[in-house]
Homo-oligomer: A and B are copies of this chain.
Amino acid sequence: MMTAKDMTRTDLFAGIDEKGVNMLLGCLHAREKHFQKNDIIALEDDQIRFVGLVLDGTVNMVKEDIWGDETLLSFISRGEVFGETFALQKNTNSYVTFMAGEETNVLFMPANDIIHSCPDGCNCHAQITTNMFNILGKKGVMLMEKIEVSSRSSLREKILSYLSILVQKQGRRTVQSPLNRTRMADYLGVNRSAMTRELATMKREGIIDFDKNEYTVYAEEMEA
């Protein structure tokens, strides 16, 4: 379970204290629901759109194409929000499906209550709006990073662009990758063994060095 105190540590309720959270939960008409693994989580209910906060478990975001094949686009963990991209829009042909990845508890909040300040003018509400913008911004950046990486044509470019982002974020030429080989290959959308092979080649050529999940990028030329 997730206590109000736990919630103050989520991005959605950031900057709001325990008391404020408890007040907001009522003000936002928050409702908790329980799901079994592989249950489909609907974000719409009688025309009202919801944003979900994962209280426990994991939610998988999957996309089905017209042949019925599913792709896992991303997953949402405890304390994270999902559905915001779709719920806050008018025109939503529900682009993706959300499924419980395990036994999961979700707190639903009507999108409208999040967007619009409540009539009582509770002042925590402004904070929620700010937080929502933050969350949307963060997600946007994550998506752009993924695009930057996967839109490169060669395997080597993908690796370098992934490492380049890490270097920019961590501010050092030696970086820790949060992803292990297998997951990294998955993220880059390439074959794992091909990636390992290319990494070895790049190491041999002196372009990069690595050990476990620590990588060092040797950039000869810094200026364009």
User: In chain B, what residue has the closest Cβ to A112?
Assistant: B130
- Say whether A223 faces chain B, with CB atoms less than 8 Å apart: yes
- What distance in Å separates the Cβ of A143 from its nearest Cβ neighbour in chain B? 4
- Chain B binder among A20-28, A35-43, A101-109, A148-156: A148-156
- Say whether A160 faces chain B, with CB atoms less than 8 Å apart: yes
Residues of the B chain whose Cβ atoms lie less than 8 Å from the Cβ of A190: 153
The contact string, 1 if C-beta is below 8 Å from chain B, for chain A 143-184, is 111111011110000001100110111000000000000000
Could you tell me if A150 and B148 are in contact, using CB atoms closer than 8 angstroms?
Answer: no
The contact string, 1 if C-beta is below 8 Å from chain B, for chain A 99-139, is 00000000000000001110000000010011011101111
Could you tell me if A73 and B144 are in contact, using CB atoms closer than 8 angstroms?
Answer: yes
Could you tell me if A115 and B130 are in contact, using CB atoms closer than 8 angstroms?
Answer: yes
CA distance A84 to B144 in the complex (A): 13
Could you tell me if B93 and A164 are in contact, using CB atoms closer than 8 angstroms?
Answer: no
- What distance in Å separates the Cβ of A219 from its nearest Cβ neighbour in chain B? 6
CA distance A59 to B74 in the complex (A): 30
Residues of the B chain whose Cβ atoms lie less than 8 Å from the Cβ of A202: none
Contact size range, A = 35 or more
- Say whether A205 faces chain B, with CB atoms less than 8 Å apart: no
Given A63-B148, A160-B65, A126:B136 Cβ within 8 A: no
Could you tell me if A67 and B219 are in contact, using CB atoms closer than 8 angstroms?
Answer: yes
Could you tell me if B136 and A96 are in contact, using CB atoms closer than 8 angstroms?
Answer: no
CA distance A88 to B153 in the complex (A): 32
Chain A contacts to B: CB under 8 angstroms:
63, 65-71, 73, 84-86, 88-90, 92-93, 95-96, 115-117, 126, 129-130, 132-134, 136-141, 143-148, 150-153, 160-161, 164-165, 167-169, 189-191, 217, 219, 221-224
Pairs A–B under 8 Å by Cβ, sample size 29: A65-B161, A66-B164, A66-B217, A66-B222, A67-B160, A67-B164, A67-B219, A70-B224, A71-B148, A73-B147, A85-B141, A88-B133, A88-B134, A88-B136, A89-B138, A89-B141, A92-B137, A95-B145, A115-B129, A115-B130, A117-B126, A129-B129, A132-B133, A136-B136, A143-B147, A146-B147, A146-B151, A150-B189, A153-B189
